[in-house]
Structure 1
Protein backbone atom coordinates (compact mmCIF):
# COMPACT_ATOMS: atom_id res chain seq x y z
CA UNK A 1 0.00 0.00 0.00
CA UNK A 2 2.81 2.42 0.89
CA UNK A 3 4.57 1.69 -2.39
CA UNK A 4 1.38 2.38 -4.35
CA UNK A 5 0.83 5.66 -2.51
CA UNK A 6 4.44 6.71 -3.11
CA UNK A 7 4.19 5.83 -6.80
CA UNK A 8 0.94 7.78 -7.17
CA UNK A 9 2.47 10.81 -5.45
CA UNK A 10 5.53 10.62 -7.74
CA UNK A 11 3.34 10.46 -10.87
CA UNK A 12 1.25 13.42 -9.70
CA UNK A 13 4.41 15.42 -8.94
CA UNK A 14 5.77 14.74 -12.43
CA UNK A 15 2.47 15.78 -14.00
CA UNK A 16 2.45 19.07 -12.10
CA UNK A 17 6.09 19.73 -12.91
CA UNK A 18 5.49 19.12 -16.61
CA UNK A 19 2.88 21.91 -16.96
CA UNK A 20 3.38 23.75 -20.24
CA UNK A 21 2.04 27.15 -21.27
CA UNK A 22 1.97 29.37 -24.34
CA UNK A 23 2.48 32.74 -22.58
CA UNK A 24 4.32 33.74 -19.40
CA UNK A 25 5.64 36.84 -17.67
CA UNK A 26 7.64 37.84 -14.64
CA UNK A 27 5.24 39.48 -12.20
CA UNK A 28 5.24 41.67 -9.12
CA UNK A 29 2.77 43.80 -7.20
CA UNK A 30 2.35 47.36 -8.48
CA UNK A 31 1.88 50.49 -6.36
CA UNK A 32 -1.79 49.62 -5.86
CA UNK A 33 -1.00 46.11 -4.65
CA UNK A 34 -2.19 44.35 -7.83
CA UNK A 35 -0.06 41.55 -9.27
CA UNK A 36 0.93 42.59 -12.82
CA UNK A 37 3.48 41.59 -15.44
CA UNK A 38 6.78 43.44 -15.04
CA UNK A 39 7.98 44.41 -18.51
CA UNK A 40 11.60 45.05 -17.50
CA UNK A 41 12.05 41.67 -15.81
CA UNK A 42 10.24 39.81 -18.60
CA UNK A 43 12.43 41.55 -21.21
CA UNK A 44 15.54 40.56 -19.25
CA UNK A 45 14.49 36.90 -19.43
CA UNK A 46 13.87 37.28 -23.18
CA UNK A 47 17.22 39.00 -23.74
CA UNK A 48 19.06 36.19 -21.93
CA UNK A 49 17.20 33.33 -23.65
CA UNK A 50 19.55 33.03 -26.64
CA UNK A 51 16.62 33.64 -28.96
CA UNK A 52 14.32 31.00 -27.40
CA UNK A 53 11.69 33.51 -26.23
CA UNK A 54 9.82 36.31 -28.01
CA UNK A 55 8.03 39.30 -26.48
CA UNK A 56 4.33 39.21 -27.32
CA UNK A 57 2.93 42.30 -29.00
CA UNK A 58 -0.70 41.25 -28.65
CA UNK A 59 -2.74 42.38 -25.67
CA UNK A 60 -3.83 39.56 -23.36
CA UNK A 61 -6.48 39.92 -20.72
CA UNK A 62 -8.88 37.87 -18.62
CA UNK A 63 -11.26 37.26 -21.51
CA UNK A 64 -8.50 35.30 -23.22
CA UNK A 65 -7.46 33.46 -20.04
CA UNK A 66 -4.72 35.70 -18.62
CA UNK A 67 -4.37 34.97 -14.89
CA UNK A 68 -3.48 38.54 -13.89
CA UNK A 69 -4.30 42.04 -15.06
CA UNK A 70 -2.09 44.05 -17.32
CA UNK A 71 -2.52 43.05 -20.92
CA UNK A 72 1.10 43.69 -21.96
CA UNK A 73 4.53 42.28 -21.14
CA UNK A 74 3.94 38.59 -21.97
CA UNK A 75 6.45 36.34 -23.75
CA UNK A 76 6.20 33.09 -25.66
CA UNK A 77 8.59 30.37 -26.87
CA UNK A 78 9.64 30.24 -30.48
CA UNK A 79 7.91 27.63 -32.57
CA UNK A 80 9.03 24.01 -32.66
CA UNK A 81 12.06 23.47 -34.83
CA UNK A 82 14.02 26.26 -33.13
CA UNK A 83 15.41 23.89 -30.49
CA UNK A 84 12.23 24.10 -28.43
CA UNK A 85 8.78 22.53 -28.37
CA UNK A 86 6.96 25.86 -28.67
CA UNK A 87 5.85 25.86 -25.04
CA UNK A 88 7.12 27.58 -21.91
CA UNK A 89 7.66 25.29 -18.96
CA UNK A 90 6.12 26.62 -15.75
CA UNK A 91 9.08 25.52 -13.64
CA UNK A 92 11.57 26.93 -16.14
CA UNK A 93 9.95 30.37 -16.16
CA UNK A 94 9.53 30.30 -12.38
CA UNK A 95 13.28 29.74 -12.00
CA UNK A 96 14.18 32.46 -14.53
CA UNK A 97 11.87 35.06 -12.95
CA UNK A 98 12.82 33.95 -9.44
CA UNK A 99 16.46 34.77 -10.21
CA UNK A 100 15.22 38.36 -10.75
CA UNK A 101 13.25 38.29 -7.46
CA UNK A 102 9.92 38.18 -9.34
CA UNK A 103 7.06 35.70 -9.48
CA UNK A 104 6.02 34.05 -12.71
CA UNK A 105 2.55 33.85 -14.19
CA UNK A 106 1.68 31.70 -17.19
CA UNK A 107 -1.34 30.63 -19.22
CA UNK A 108 -2.45 29.29 -22.56
CA UNK A 109 -5.04 31.42 -24.38
CA UNK A 110 -8.65 30.26 -24.33
CA UNK A 111 -10.19 28.82 -27.48
CA UNK A 112 -6.75 28.17 -28.99
CA UNK A 113 -6.31 31.85 -29.88
CA UNK A 114 -3.18 32.50 -31.91
CA UNK A 115 -0.54 33.78 -29.50
CA UNK A 116 2.02 34.74 -32.17
CA UNK A 117 2.81 38.37 -32.89
CA UNK A 118 0.84 40.04 -35.63
CA UNK A 119 -2.48 41.80 -35.51
CA UNK A 120 -4.05 42.42 -32.13
CA UNK A 121 -7.04 40.16 -32.71
CA UNK A 122 -6.77 38.67 -29.22
CA UNK A 123 -9.01 41.46 -27.97
CA UNK A 124 -8.90 43.99 -25.18
CA UNK A 125 -11.63 43.43 -22.59
CA UNK A 126 -9.36 44.80 -19.87
CA UNK A 127 -9.42 43.93 -16.22
CA UNK A 128 -11.52 46.47 -14.32
CA UNK A 129 -9.70 49.52 -13.02
CA UNK A 130 -9.72 50.10 -9.27
CA UNK A 131 -12.68 51.88 -7.78
CA UNK A 132 -12.25 55.67 -7.78
CA UNK A 133 -11.57 57.41 -4.49
CA UNK A 134 -14.75 57.95 -2.46
CA UNK A 135 -16.66 61.02 -3.63
CA UNK A 136 -14.44 61.51 -6.68
CA UNK A 137 -15.80 60.07 -9.92
CA UNK A 138 -13.14 61.63 -12.15
CA UNK A 139 -9.83 60.38 -10.73
CA UNK A 140 -8.26 57.05 -9.94
CA UNK A 141 -6.36 56.40 -6.71
CA UNK A 142 -2.93 58.05 -6.53
CA UNK A 143 -1.16 54.77 -7.14
CA UNK A 144 -2.72 54.59 -10.63
CA UNK A 145 -1.63 58.04 -11.74
CA UNK A 146 1.37 58.52 -14.01
CA UNK A 147 4.54 59.49 -12.25
Structure 2
Protein backbone atom coordinates (compact mmCIF):
# COMPACT_ATOMS: atom_id res chain seq x y z
CA UNK A 1 0.00 0.00 0.00
CA UNK A 2 1.11 3.58 -0.66
CA UNK A 3 1.26 4.64 3.00
CA UNK A 4 3.60 1.77 3.87
CA UNK A 5 5.89 2.82 1.02
CA UNK A 6 6.00 6.44 2.22
CA UNK A 7 6.73 5.27 5.76
CA UNK A 8 9.50 2.92 4.59
CA UNK A 9 11.11 5.77 2.63
CA UNK A 10 10.87 8.18 5.57
CA UNK A 11 8.51 10.40 3.57
CA UNK A 12 5.38 10.11 5.73
CA UNK A 13 5.96 13.40 7.54
CA UNK A 14 6.28 11.76 10.96
CA UNK A 15 8.13 13.84 13.54
CA UNK A 16 10.22 10.80 14.45
CA UNK A 17 11.48 10.66 10.85
CA UNK A 18 12.55 14.31 10.96
CA UNK A 19 14.37 13.84 14.25
CA UNK A 20 16.16 10.71 13.08
CA UNK A 21 17.73 12.84 10.34
CA UNK A 22 19.35 15.12 12.95
CA UNK A 23 22.99 14.61 13.79
CA UNK A 24 24.16 13.13 17.06
CA UNK A 25 21.87 11.91 19.81
CA UNK A 26 19.91 15.13 20.25
CA UNK A 27 17.92 15.34 17.02
CA UNK A 28 16.34 18.59 15.93
CA UNK A 29 13.65 19.38 13.38
CA UNK A 30 12.08 22.74 12.60
CA UNK A 31 8.58 23.21 11.19
CA UNK A 32 7.39 26.62 10.12
CA UNK A 33 4.08 28.12 9.09
CA UNK A 34 3.43 31.45 7.40
CA UNK A 35 1.48 33.58 9.88
CA UNK A 36 1.07 36.70 7.72
CA UNK A 37 -1.23 35.40 4.94
CA UNK A 38 1.28 36.27 2.22
CA UNK A 39 3.69 34.33 0.00
CA UNK A 40 7.04 35.32 1.52
CA UNK A 41 8.01 31.85 2.78
CA UNK A 42 10.15 31.17 -0.27
CA UNK A 43 12.11 34.38 0.39
CA UNK A 44 13.15 33.32 3.91
CA UNK A 45 15.71 30.52 3.55
CA UNK A 46 16.48 28.62 6.74
CA UNK A 47 19.70 26.89 7.76
CA UNK A 48 19.64 24.57 10.78
CA UNK A 49 22.75 23.10 12.39
CA UNK A 50 23.15 21.23 15.64
CA UNK A 51 26.11 20.34 17.82
CA UNK A 52 26.96 18.93 21.24
CA UNK A 53 25.68 21.99 23.12
CA UNK A 54 22.63 23.04 21.11
CA UNK A 55 21.34 24.05 17.70
CA UNK A 56 21.39 27.17 15.55
CA UNK A 57 18.72 28.40 13.13
CA UNK A 58 19.74 31.10 10.66
CA UNK A 59 17.12 33.04 8.69
CA UNK A 60 17.12 35.98 6.30
CA UNK A 61 14.25 37.75 4.54
CA UNK A 62 15.62 38.12 1.00
CA UNK A 63 12.42 39.57 -0.51
CA UNK A 64 12.86 42.46 -2.95
CA UNK A 65 9.57 44.22 -2.25
CA UNK A 66 9.98 46.60 -5.20
CA UNK A 67 9.80 43.60 -7.54
CA UNK A 68 6.92 41.73 -5.88
CA UNK A 69 3.15 42.16 -6.23
CA UNK A 70 1.04 42.96 -3.17
CA UNK A 71 -0.43 39.46 -2.88
CA UNK A 72 3.12 38.13 -2.38
CA UNK A 73 4.56 40.68 0.07
CA UNK A 74 1.46 42.30 1.58
CA UNK A 75 -0.56 41.11 4.57
CA UNK A 76 -3.89 41.82 6.27
CA UNK A 77 -2.21 42.25 9.68
CA UNK A 78 -1.01 45.83 9.31
CA UNK A 79 2.65 44.78 9.25
CA UNK A 80 5.05 46.77 7.05
CA UNK A 81 5.12 45.59 3.44
CA UNK A 82 7.46 42.63 2.95
CA UNK A 83 7.42 41.53 6.59
CA UNK A 84 7.61 37.76 6.94
CA UNK A 85 5.77 36.63 10.08
CA UNK A 86 6.40 32.96 10.76
CA UNK A 87 5.33 30.54 13.48
CA UNK A 88 8.12 28.08 14.23
CA UNK A 89 7.96 24.81 16.13
CA UNK A 90 11.30 23.25 17.04
CA UNK A 91 11.16 19.54 17.84
CA UNK A 92 14.00 17.91 19.79
CA UNK A 93 14.79 14.63 21.49
CA UNK A 94 16.71 16.47 24.23
CA UNK A 95 15.12 19.10 26.49
CA UNK A 96 16.16 22.69 25.79
CA UNK A 97 17.41 25.01 28.55
CA UNK A 98 16.66 28.21 26.64
CA UNK A 99 16.41 30.06 23.34
CA UNK A 100 18.04 33.31 22.22
CA UNK A 101 17.51 35.53 19.18
CA UNK A 102 20.66 37.41 18.24
CA UNK A 103 21.89 36.95 21.82
CA UNK A 104 18.70 38.16 23.58
CA UNK A 105 16.35 35.80 25.41
CA UNK A 106 13.59 34.52 23.10
CA UNK A 107 10.36 33.54 24.87
CA UNK A 108 8.90 30.23 23.67
CA UNK A 109 5.97 28.05 24.61
CA UNK A 110 6.88 24.44 25.30
CA UNK A 111 5.20 21.07 25.36
CA UNK A 112 5.51 17.59 23.96
CA UNK A 113 4.27 16.24 20.67
CA UNK A 114 4.63 12.78 19.15
CA UNK A 115 7.17 11.78 21.80
CA UNK A 116 9.38 14.82 21.22
CA UNK A 117 9.89 18.10 23.03
CA UNK A 118 8.17 20.91 21.09
CA UNK A 119 9.01 24.62 21.40
CA UNK A 120 6.97 27.26 19.55
CA UNK A 121 7.61 30.95 18.84
CA UNK A 122 6.64 33.60 16.28
CA UNK A 123 9.14 35.84 14.48
CA UNK A 124 8.78 38.88 12.24
CA UNK A 125 11.52 39.54 9.70
CA UNK A 126 11.60 42.78 7.71
CA UNK A 127 12.94 42.72 4.13
CA UNK A 128 16.72 42.37 4.25
CA UNK A 129 16.72 41.41 7.93
CA UNK A 130 18.73 38.39 9.07
CA UNK A 131 18.56 36.72 12.46
CA UNK A 132 20.09 33.83 14.37
CA UNK A 133 18.17 31.68 16.83
CA UNK A 134 20.24 29.61 19.25
CA UNK A 135 18.95 26.91 21.57
CA UNK A 136 21.02 25.27 24.27
CA UNK A 137 20.47 21.67 25.37
CA UNK A 138 19.57 21.14 29.04
CA UNK A 139 22.38 18.67 29.69
Same fold (TM over 0.5): no
Greater strand content: 2
**Which structure shows the bigger proportion of residues in helix conformation?**
1
TM-score under structure 2 normalisation? 0.25
